[in-house]
Amino acid sequence: MRLLRDWSLWKFVWGLTGLLLLAQIAQAAEPLAVVRIAPLRECRADMKVVQEILGTEEDAATRAMGWLLERMETLAKNGLDDSRPLGLAAVSLGGDRVVWVAAVPTTDVHALHGVVEPWIGDIEEKEGGVVKFTFLGKELYANLGAGWVYVSEKQAAVSRVPASPEPWLEGFDPQWDVGVRINVPQVLASFGTRLGAWVEKVKDKARREDQRHPLAATVVPQILAVASAATVETQEVIVGWQVDRENQKVRCVCRCVALPNTNLARYFAGQQNVTSPLVALRHWPDAVFSAGWASTFPTPPEEELEKIGQALRAEMERVIEKGIHKAEDANLVRELFEEWLRIADDWVHQGRYEGAVTLVAKPDQLTLVGAKFVGNSHAAEEFVGHLVESARARFPKLFERITVTPDYARHGDAVIHFMEIDLGDKLKPEQKALIGDKLEVAFTAANGYAGVAIGKNAVAMLKRAIDDCVAQGEQAAPSFEMRASIEKMTDVCAQLNPKNKRVQQIKEYLHQNDREELVTARATTSGQSAEVVWEADLRLMRVGRMVRHPDPTVTQNLHP
């Protein structure tokens, strides 16, 4: 009996220990998501910079910003600590029950209470230092800690908060005005079953549309399967937004971090070693816009590729049945489509997604240059030739204005084909100055790549692209890169539309300083993470206002 009593005692001790351990785990569990807001001191400084750029003209945005600045200053003078960040965390209460908890830094909680007191009512003290109250009619709970006030809709949420939310707010760039971090494993633990059911529902719906939309019925389930696998292997997603006062830019960052030793982590790591000769086209000094991309992807299984091919053929047959009535034309379209499918199949098996495009603008020239990895360049060249000759035979009247010269020039390993389109009197003199009397198109395909130039001096520009790619060779670069000069693009628009007063006003404004207004984007990988950074010049905010207000009496007040 004594042994039995001892055994019962030990079970009680072990059970109690387990309960305490579970309680500790529950309290230490990381939030599903965290929002970090920069210290109000930094937010106010950033907002004042934006105010200066927007100018003195009053509208809804400037009024709202002015009101918010006043409230921030009032709170900072009355108990809110404007030197520390604010936090907002989504915490789990078990299962799929999630509630938000706000963490507010304070220097004097009584002074802060005095500011918000007119909107607070029905105050009631609860156990554990928790206070229940209503704010604007909504029932809330607060936990008054050392230098922090936690607020939530649920008492359980504020009853188990840490002494300080600083561990929640780690991992963010301190320069960000707003940062959001999503803990993907925690989200899946709470909502994984519901999300999985939703994914299966979408897949079933796509499959039921097999007769009407065969391509969607095939591709959507495959895309969802890949996305689901990648989500399970993701550790966290972080998004940040920042006003860079020093460089006068607004910046947005999105970062995805994979779990260690997963396929997603290995994929991110492998992208650092991808090289491309087309990187040379990304940085031409006379480009108003340029973009380039280079990455690899795993080749899908053959049975999946076959399904996609059959679905594409089914979609093409639907198009032919609806819009092409002559048997000869229908057979031609099928032939061209099968030719394109063979090229696409070869490209997919190469597993490279690589290309570049750039728009060159000078006072007397506008030319678009693009290049792409196609895998089988010989087949791509034959396909384009077949397409042009088929179009010439099908639309002879249209080709009275078009001159096609195959094998126009040879440049290294490349044979350049040339086409001129007579635009007649369709262009104005200022447009002809940029494009020319005839629209030129130059095309080539060699060594696995295809390139095209459209615009004035197309052949010369294509040769320049070939020379730069050969001279600079394979280079490592961001997986994606984009650069747009808003100032130069406005110059082009002003030259094409000299009588448009709004465009001329924007051009005048952008030329008031020596700095070039840019919009840029970069996607890079590092270790087990991938990151996208988007940047834009702050002065473009004022350009947006000029676009919205065509009246010169309004826009003239926007100049500093």
Partners of 238 in the beta sheet? Answer: 181, 255
Predicted structure pTM score: 0.84
CA proximity to 29, closest of 185, 237, 147, 191: 185
- Tokens at residue 440, please? 């030129």
15 pLDDT exceeds 70?
no
Contact between 466 and 451 (Cβ < 8 Å): yes
- Tokens at residue 86, please? 């604010």
d(CA 186, CA 237): 12
* Cα Dmax for the chain: 110
352 pLDDT exceeds 50?
yes
**Domain boundaries, given as residue ranges, for the chain:** 27-179, 186-232, 247-274+479-555, 299-350, 353-476
Partners of 254 in the beta sheet? Answer: 239, 532
d(CA 229, CA 234): 9
The percentage of the chain sitting over the pLDDT mark of 70, rounded to a whole number, equals 91
Residues 47-67 pLDDT 10s: 888 888 877 666 677 778 788
Mean pLDDT of 188-205: 89
Mean pLDDT of 469-495: 92
Buried b (16+ CB within 10 A) or exposed e, 82-116: bebbbbbbbbbeeeeebbbbbbbbbeebeebbeee
Query: Which tops the pLDDT comparison, 183 or 29?
Result: 183
For the chain, give percent helix, strand, coil, nearest 5. 45, 30, 25
DSSP strands (E only) in 86-163: 86-92, 98-105, 120-125, 130-135, 138-144, 148-152
Structure confidence at residue 26 as a pLDDT band (50, 70, 90) = very low
Mean pLDDT of 522-534: 94
Buried b (16+ CB within 10 A) or exposed e, 416-436: bbbbbbeeeeebeeeeebbbb
Partners of 253 in the beta sheet? Answer: 240, 533
**SS3 sequence of 14-30:** HHHHHHHHHHHHHHHCC
Residue 218 is predicted with a pLDDT of 86
**89: Cβ contacts below 8 Å, ≥ 6 apart:** 31, 33, 34, 35, 100, 101, 103, 165, 168
299 pLDDT exceeds 80?
yes
Mean pLDDT of 255-268: 95
CA proximity to 277, closest of 502, 475, 54, 555: 475
H helices of 351-376, in order, are none
Structure confidence at residue 545 as a pLDDT band (50, 70, 90) = low
d(CA 291, CA 273): 19
421 pLDDT exceeds 90?
yes
Residue 16 is predicted with a pLDDT of 32
Residue 212 is predicted with a pLDDT of 75
Residue 521 is predicted with a pLDDT of 96
Residue 30 is predicted with a pLDDT of 83
Residue 207 is predicted with a pLDDT of 82
Contact between 82 and 104 (Cβ < 8 Å): no
What is the CATH class of 353-476?
alpha beta
**322: Cβ contacts below 8 Å, ≥ 6 apart:** none
H or E stretch at 116: helix 109-116
Burial tier of 462 (Cβ tally within 10 Å: 0-12, 13-18, 19+):
buried
DSSP three-state, residue 324: coil
Residue 547 is predicted with a pLDDT of 65
What value does the mean pLDDT of the chain take? 86
